[in-house]
Amino acid sequence: MSFNFNVKNKGIILANSHRGYSHKYPENTMPAFIAAVEAGTKSIEIDVLMTKDEKLVVIHDFSIERVSNGTGYVEQMSLEELRQYDFGIKKGKEFANTPIPELREVLLWAVENDVGLVVEAKPHRNHQRFAEVLAKEIRATNSVTNIQLLGFDHVLINRVKTLYPEVQLQVVTLARYNRQLDAVLGSNASCVCCEYHYVSKDDLLAYKKAGLITRLYLHEYKNNEPTLKTYSKKYGYDVENEVIEWLREGLIDMLSHDDIDYLKILITKAGKQVG
């Protein structure tokens, strides 16, 4: 079953849960992914690294200390070694014995449940082999229409697209280049991921005119304060109202945050349906 990331002109904004419902569940785990869908969303951002035995696993950090009860580096460990550790216990005792997920099981789950996955490629080296393994897994799970491959490293994700041209790319922009749209289109993007600090309304208008899907990523809460309020304090003006206006005008197709309830509030304030 395919997933449609292109929701323009449908009055819908995709509420994209960052690493699953990571505000309440252990990030990048099946409990977080299942909870995101149960909360009424259908789009999830995940992170992927490759183990030393060339298995793809869903995890953000290169090391496992922050999110598990183990130590070590993903790329220096086998899947069997990683499976010894608990990737839920640090979020709460109720999540004890949560394993690190293999990408394959998440892709199969997404296809079965009509979920869209924004899959961020994380490795810093061994790019060609990572690309080969990832392309093979996407083919084996028949999940190409359920994913957008995300990367800060546009060269890396284009290695995958060279091997599997049907893969949609989502590129991250953490700067405003002099020829911003050219840089994005030159990376073969179907979608562009922006942060508020590095995007303007002019950029968003240009992206939409070029037919690109747009995603706005909002950082996690700081001191339990709503993210857009934190941004407003930084700049001294009402950022929330500005972002809601972008949503209302259809300049944002996908909105990302750790807290799904917060996403729903912002999308509803803009008069749009939560997708």
Q: Which residues are catalytic?
A: 18, 60
What type of residue sits at position 6?
N
Q: What spatial distance separates the first Cα and last Cα of the chain, rounded to whole Å? A: 17
Are the C-beta atoms of 47 and 59 separated by less than 8 Å? yes
Instruction: Evaluate whether 90 touches 18 at the Cβ level (below 8 Å).
Output: no
How far apart (Å, rounded) are the C-alpha atoms in residues 159 and 68?
Answer: 31
DSSP strands (E only) in the chain? 12-18, 43-50, 56-58, 116-121, 147-151, 168-173, 191-195, 213-217, 254-257, 273-274
